[in-house]
Chains A and B, each alone.
Chain A
Amino acid sequence: MMKSLTIDAAKCTGCLQCELACSFEHEGVFNPAKSRVKVFVLHDTGRYIPYTCTQCSDAWCASVCPVEAIESDRETGVKRVIDSRCVGCKVCTIACPFGTINYNAASGKVVKCDLCGGEPACADACPTGAITFVDAEWTGYGRMKAWAGRTDTAAQAQG
Chain B
Amino acid sequence: MSWTRKLLRVDLDARTCGAEPLNMEWAERYIGQRGLASKYLSEEVDPKVDPLSPANKLIFATGPLTGTAASTGGRYSVVTKGPLTGTIACSNSGGFFGAELKFAGWDMIIFEGRSEEPLYLCIENDRAQLLPAAELWGRSVWETEALIRKRHGDPQLRIASIGRAGETGCLFAGVVNDLHRAAGRTGVGAVMGAKNLKAVAVRGTLGVKVADPKAFMAAVAEGKAKLATNPVTSQGLPTYGTQVLVNVINEAGAFPTRNGRDVQFEGARRISAEAMHEKRPTDGKPNLLRNGACFGCTIACGRISQIDRGHFSVKDKPRYWEPSGGLEYEAAWALGAATGVDDLEALTYVNYLCNEHGMDPITLGATIGAAMELYEIGAIPANETGGLKLTFGSAEALCKAAELCGTGEGFGREIALGSKRLCEKYGHPDLSMTVKGQEFPAYDPRGIQGIGLEYATSNRGACHVRGYTISSEILATPVKTDPLVTEGKAELCKAFQDATAVVDSAGICLFSTFAWGIPDIAPQIEAACGGKWPVERLIETGERIWNLERKFNLAAGFSAKDDTLPKRILKEAAKTGPAKGKVNRLHEMLPEYYKARGWTADGIPSNRTLERLAL
Instruction: Give chain A's interface residues, CB within 8 Å of chain B.
Output: 13-17, 20-21, 23-24, 27-34, 43-46, 48, 125, 127-128
Is B68 a contact partner of A14 (Cβ separation < 8 A)?
no
CA distance A58 to B171 in the complex (A): 61
Contacts of A43 in B (CB 8 A): 179, 322-324
Q: How far is the CA of A21 from the CA of B302 in the complex (A)?
A: 22
Q: Flag if A15 contacts B297 (CB, 8 Å).
A: yes
Do A27 and B207 contact each other (CB < 8 Å), given the known contacts A15-B294, A46-B290?
A: yes
Chain A residues whose C-beta falls within 8 Å of the C-beta of B573 in the assembled complex: none
Q: Give the complex CA separation of A24 and B224 in angstroms.
A: 17
Contact call A14/B292, Cβ cutoff below 8 A: yes
**Residue contacts A-B, CB under 8 angstroms, 22 given:** A13-B291, A13-B300, A15-B293, A15-B294, A15-B295, A15-B298, A16-B295, A16-B296, A21-B69, A24-B217, A28-B213, A29-B208, A29-B209, A30-B69, A30-B207, A31-B208, A33-B103, A43-B322, A44-B323, A46-B304, A127-B71, A127-B224
The chain B residue with its CB closest to the CB of A40 is B155
B213 touches A24 (CB 8 A): yes
Residue B306 interfacial (CB < 8 Å): yes
Residue B369 lies at the interface, judged by CB distance under 8 Å to chain A: no
* CB-CB nearest in chain B for A25: B217
Are A32 and B69 CB-contacts (below 8 A) given A15-B294, A46-B289? no
List chain B residues, Cβ under 8 A from A45.
322-323
Question: Does B204 sit within 8 A of A, measured CB to CB?
Answer: yes
Q: What is the interface size of chain B, counting residues whose CB is below 8 A from a CB of the partner?
A: 37
- Chain B residues positioned under 8 Å from A16 (CB to CB): 96, 293, 295-296
> With a CB–CB cut-off of 8 A, which chain B residues contact A28?
209, 213
**Complex: A66 Cα to B213 Cα, angstroms:** 37
Residues of A within 8 A of B207 (CB): 23, 27, 29-31, 33-34
Asked whether, in the complex, the Cβ of A44 is within 8 Å of the Cβ of B322, the reply is yes
Q: Which of B69, B179, B289, B302 sits near A17, CB closer than 8 Å?
A: B69
How far apart sit A143 and B211, CA to CA, in the bound complex (Å)? Answer: 42
Considering the complex, give the chain A residue whose CB is closest to the CB of B298: A127
Tell me how many residue pairs across A and B have CB atoms closer than 8 Å: 82
Chain A residue at minimal CB-CB distance from B300: A13
Q: B residues bordering A, Cβ < 8 Å?
A: 67-69, 71, 96, 103, 179, 204-210, 213, 217, 224, 227-228, 238, 289-298, 300, 302, 304, 306, 322-324
Q: Which residue of B lies closest to A48 (CB)?
A: B292
| Distance of A15 Cα from B509 Cα, bound (Å) | 13
**Given A17-B296, A33-B207, A128-B300, 10 more pairs with CB closer than 8 A:** A13-B291, A13-B293, A13-B300, A14-B300, A16-B296, A28-B209, A31-B103, A31-B207, A44-B322, A46-B323
Taking a contact as CB atoms under 8 Å apart, the answer to whether B69 and A31 are in contact is no
List A contacts of B323 (CB < 8 A).
43-46
Chain A residues with CB under 8 Å of B297's CB are: 13, 15
A45 (CB) vs chain B CBs: closest residue: B323
B21 to chain A, nearest CB (A): 21
Contact yes or no, B69 A24, CB < 8 A:
yes
Q: Which residues of A contact B291 (CB under 8 A)?
A: 13
- The reply to whether B205 and A15 form a contact with Cβ atoms under 8 Å apart is no
List the 6 closest A-B pairs by CB distance, nearest first. A31-B207, A46-B323, A15-B293, A33-B205, A13-B300, A29-B207
Tell me the smallest distance from the CB of A125 to a CB of chain B, in Å: 7
Taking CB as reference atom, which chain A residue is nearest B295?
A: A16
Please tell me which one of the listed residues A13, A20, A33, A46 contacts residue B69 in the complex, with CB atoms under 8 A apart. Answer: A20
Cα–Cα, bound, A67→B227 (Å): 47
Nearest A-chain residue to B302, judged by Cβ: A13
CB neighbours of B228 from chain A (8 A): 127
**Is A13 in contact with B292, judged by CB distance below 8 angstroms?**
yes
B296 contacts across to A, CB distance below 8 A: 15-17, 20
Residue of A nearest to B178 (CB): A41
- Looking at the assembled complex, report how far the CB atom of A48 sits from the nearest CB atom of chain B, in whole angstroms: 7
| B100 shortest CB reach to chain A, Å | 9
Given A43-B322, A45-B323, A34 contacting B295 (CB threshold 8 A): no
Q: Is the CB of A30 within 8 A of B292?
A: no
CA–CA, A16 to B304, complex, Å? Answer: 17
Distance in Å: Cβ of B528 to nearest Cβ of chain A: 10
Q: Is the CB of A31 within 8 A of B68?
A: no
Q: Which chain B residue shows the least CB distance to A21?
A: B69
Give Cα distance in the complex from A28 to B212, angstroms. Answer: 11
The answer for the CA separation of A1 and B347 in the assembled complex, in Å, is: 53
Contact B208 A34 (CB under 8 A): no
Q: Chain A residues near B298 (CB, 8 Å)?
A: 15, 17, 127
In the complex, what distance in Å separates the CA atom of A129 from the CA atom of B395?
41
Complex formed: what's the CA distance from A140 to B322 in Å? 31
In the complex, A25 Cα to B293 Cα: how many Å?
22
Chain A: minimal CB distance from B203 (Å): 8
CB atoms of A46 and B306 under 8 A apart: yes
